[in-house]
Structure 1
Amino acid sequence: MTLTLPALAFLFVAGVGAGLTGSIAGLASLVSYPALLAVGLPPLTANITNTIALLGTTAGAAAGSRPELDGQWSRLKVLCAITAAGGALGAALLLYTPPGVFTIVVPFLIAGASILLFLGPHLRKSAGPAHGIGPASGVAAFGVAIYGGYFGAAAGVLMLALLSTVWAQSLARSNAAKNIATGAANFIAAVVFAFTGKAYWPAVVALCLGSVLGSWIGPSIVRRVPATPLRIVIGLAGLGLAGTLAYQAFAV
């Protein structure tokens, strides 16, 4: 297929929106994946194209989050190694397994993560401060990365909920770490997908350029918005997405 110039412009704008929502709330695919379907890409091609294109979100968010990432790189190296491995496994699952199981389970994962995001500060107080990646949180991060490599919608919500619970730091710093951790999973999945021949590269370029711009702006918004209202908005958006995906999975 061949996309027209207006269709590519539409994907660029969608990329800006995906970059904003991804860097702020971890919901980039909520914008970008439907946009790819809207211009006529088949679901599997759209998913693979989306994963590669959203590497721009990681690049833009990293550039825009330098103050929040300061002092976090030592533990992020460990976290990114875990999520990169999970992303590779998720990509393999997408290519070689039927999607039925994930279609059913994903809404519950996202709903659970959204609720966990609401409760994160209280759970963190109960558990006490944590500064690294323990066995339990490492396994959880690996699981989130598998899902991120497989499909990725709201993978950032899952990761933000996890980091907000186990790391004693501001929401803005946890959000910046989330962008890097999910980006590592996305990068490995994108490398796998790039060699399948199923990506639609004009759409990748248009969406990626837009996502770089949107995700570069996003961290400055997180930096200025009070944490509690932002946490509530992200959690509600996650619950809304969970409800939509549940309806799609179970509607007869």
Structure 2
Amino acid sequence: MPAEPLLAPGPWQLVFLVVAGAGAGLTGSIAGLASLVSYPALLAIGVPPVSANVTNTVALMGGAVGAAAGSRPELRGQRKRLLRLCAITAAGGAAGSALLLLTPEGAFASIVPFLIAAASVLLLCSPRPAARAGRGGGLTAGTATGAFLVAVYGGYFGAAAGVVMLALLSAAWPQPLARTNAAKNIVTGAANLVAAVVFAVTGPVLWPAAAALCAGLVAGSFAGPAIVRRLPAAPLRIAIALAGLGLAVALGWQAWA
């Protein structure tokens, strides 16, 4: 994949990215849609699409750190199964990042609008309540396979990967939404960690932008779990889904006009 020219963000652009990162962290830790905020923010300051994607992936590690710190009550008692699932999603994240680096730049720009549109439509479909799920709570072959495939997508692009993972774990594990959401943040963070390492070594990361986004993501994702404990997420999911559909149309117009 040919290298893309990288920009040097100015002070106000970095401030903008910190604010956008805080919004992305809040959105990601609640609804799994951090990239629908952070990725467009990078595009808005002029970062090319592939560079924006790898920079965003590196920055999203801040979201995983903040969400883990803010979700400690919900994570109690889930350590064993999460360690196993994290190993699976880490492998999926590695596969997805390799796929991105082997995808031609033009093809990626054309695919992104479809990915965002599909993620936004999916967001409109709320995960099945845990009360209706099966009686299990372990890591079945179906859950492991589904988590691996979601992680491949997360390593490739990642927008709404958290939403898909939340739906998967909600169906597999009958427990309160806040606990499942905390688990989702950890396992998607594992997939993102491997992809971030791959991109940090081989991808066109814009490091000042990644650092600014990461700082905001830590703060926003730390606050998100507290909101999940108290407020229904449905209105937020609908608003973000509509915004995502609008973004998909705009990016599609830019790619194909």
Q: Deviations over 1:155-212 (max 9, x none)?
A: 1111111111111001100100010011001000000000125101011111101110
Deviation at 1:242, TM superposition (A): 5.1
Letter in 2 for 1:58: A
Gap runs ≥5 in structure 2: 1-6
Query: Which stretch of structure 1 is more off in the superposition, 36-45 or 100-109?
Result: 100-109
SS across alignment from 2:178: helix
Counterpart of 1:230 in structure 2 is 233
Q: How many residue pairs get matched?
A: 245
Deviation at 1:129, TM superposition (A): 1.6
- Aligned-partner Cα distance in 2 for 1:212–1:155: 19
Counterpart of 1:73 in structure 2 is 79
Counterpart of 1:171 in structure 2 is 177
Deviation at 1:241, TM superposition (A): 2.6
Return closer, same or farther for 1:22/1:170 CA change in 2, 3 Å cut-off: same
After TM superposition, the structure 1 = structure 2 runs for residues 1-252 of structure 1, keeping only pairs within 5 Å, are 1-97=7-103, 98-99=107-108, 104=114, 107-108=117-118, 111-112=121-122, 114-115=124-125, 117=127, 120-121=128-129, 125=132, 127-225=133-231, 229-231=232-234, 233-234=236-237, 237-238=240-241, 241=244, 244-245=247-248, 248-249=251-252
SS across alignment from 2:233: helix
- Aligned-partner Cα distance in 1 for 2:174–2:71: 18
Return closer, same or farther for 1:60/1:135 CA change in 2, 3 Å cut-off: same
Pairwise CA RMSD: 2.2
Deviation at 1:40, TM superposition (A): 1.3
Q: Determine if contact 2:66/2:219 at 8 Å carries over to the other structure.
A: yes
Equivalent pairs: percent with the same residue? 56
Q: Determine if contact 1:80/1:180 at 8 Å carries over to the other structure.
A: yes
Letter in 1 for 2:237: I
Q: Determine if contact 1:57/1:214 at 8 Å carries over to the other structure.
A: yes
Q: Determine if contact 1:114/1:161 at 8 Å carries over to the other structure.
A: no
Deviation at 1:137, TM superposition (A): 1.5
Letter in 2 for 1:45: S
Return closer, same or farther for 1:244/1:202 CA change in 2, 3 Å cut-off: closer
Deviation at 1:82, TM superposition (A): 1.0
TM-score (norm 2): 0.87
TM-score (norm 1): 0.88
